[in-house]
């Protein structure tokens, strides 16, 4: 009787876990998040390789602390298809009276830059926007999986650098460009501009990965930004590249995108 009773308690749990995974297969691949009218892309649950192996390290060192390569499991989540734009960020500032970034100080967007990624953004600014929208900043792992998928690619589009697939230091623009300007440079999930344009804030403090030969911890000092920016080395646009910045840094190269919880999507009916 005791064995039967134990099984009766365990089986519903097992069924619930498998059933929830099965239900997740029916999640929409793209959604529109109503608060900020953004398009979000589903990143499906599963493992992926994070970081780099020695053999994958380019001749020019990217950033310290990308090793060792390690597997990470993540549940389903949604991530903004595009970087947050000037247009959306100004709307947030007007509604909340949040401080305006340098280029929006006059309360208006420079002509033609409505759909450019917002920049001059600190970690706190990015976090405040995501909270206002009912979302949050991505973790490093969430950002990197959205960039490289589960096939361990080095760039969003594949394993080899291609100069015309992102806004980078070899581009002629020398400035931000409208989000989504390089559709052929999309990640495996269809997420845009994960290489170049602006650095993107993540939720994590900068510290070494478990098992790293180089041990460091900048908790309380530096947050991690990802993706490179329009005036940075092409190697810093690799999916694995980590760039530490003080949380209050508001340079012209800093922007962001947000993550949405699957549970909130179900609850809202979106």
Q: What is the mean pLDDT of residues 212-234?
A: 94
Structural domain count of the chain: 1
Q: What is the mean pLDDT of residues 112-137?
A: 98
pTM, two decimals, is 0.88
Q: Is residue 82 part of a domain?
A: yes
- CATH code at 143? 3.90.1580.10
Which position has the token pair 């594949």? 158
Q: Is residue 117 part of a domain?
A: yes
How far is the C-alpha of 76 from the C-alpha of 21, rounded, in Å? 9
pLDDT at 16: 29
Contact between 227 and 257 under an 8 Å Cβ cutoff? The reply is no
Q: What is the extent of the structural domain holding 96?
A: 31-268
**Lowest mean pLDDT across 105-109, 169-173, 181-185, 256-260:** 169-173
> What tens digit of pLDDT does each residue of 96-107 get?
999 999 999 999
How many residues are recorded in the chain? 270
Q: Is residue 8 part of a domain?
A: no
> What tens digit of pLDDT does each residue of 29-72 get?
999 999 999 999 999 999 999 999 877 665 455 566 899 999 99
Give strand ranges (E) for 8-141.
30-33, 38-43, 46-50, 70-74, 77-80
Q: Is residue 86 part of a domain?
A: yes
């Amino acid at each position: 009787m005791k064995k039967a009773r134990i099984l009766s308690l365990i089986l519903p749990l097992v069924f619930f876990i498998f059933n929830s995974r099965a239900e997740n297969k029916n999640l929409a691949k793209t959604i529109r998040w109503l608060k900020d009218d953004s398009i979000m892309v589903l990143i499906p649950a599963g493992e992926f390789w994070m970081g780099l192996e020695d053999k994958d390290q380019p001749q020019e060192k990217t950033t310290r602390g990308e090793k060792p390569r390690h597997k990470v499991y993540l549940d389903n989540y949604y991530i903004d298809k595009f970087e947050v734009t000037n247009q959306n960020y100004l709307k947030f500032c007007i509604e909340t009276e949040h401080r305006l970034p340098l280029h929006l100080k006059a309360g208006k967007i420079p002509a033609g830059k409505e759909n450019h990624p917002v920049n001059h953004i600190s970690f706190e600014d990015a976090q405040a926007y995501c909270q206002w929208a009912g979302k949050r900043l991505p973790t490093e792992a969430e950002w990197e999986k959205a960039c490289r998928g589960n096939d361990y690619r080095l760039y969003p589009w594949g394993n080899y650098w291609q100069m015309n697939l992102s806004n980078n230091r070899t581009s002629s623009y020398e400035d931000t460009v409208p989000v989504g300007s390089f559709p052929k440079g999309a990640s495996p999930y269809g997420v845009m501009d994960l290489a170049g344009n602006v650095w993107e804030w993540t939720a994590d403090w900068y510290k070494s990965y478990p098992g790293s030969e180089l041990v460091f911890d900048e908790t309380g000092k530096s947050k991690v930004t990802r993706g490179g920016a329009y005036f940075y080395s092409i190697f810093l646009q690799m999916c694995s590249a980590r760039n530490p910045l003080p949380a209050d840094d508001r340079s012209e190269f800093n922007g962001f995108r947000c993550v949405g919880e699957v549970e909130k999507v179900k609850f809202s009916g979106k």
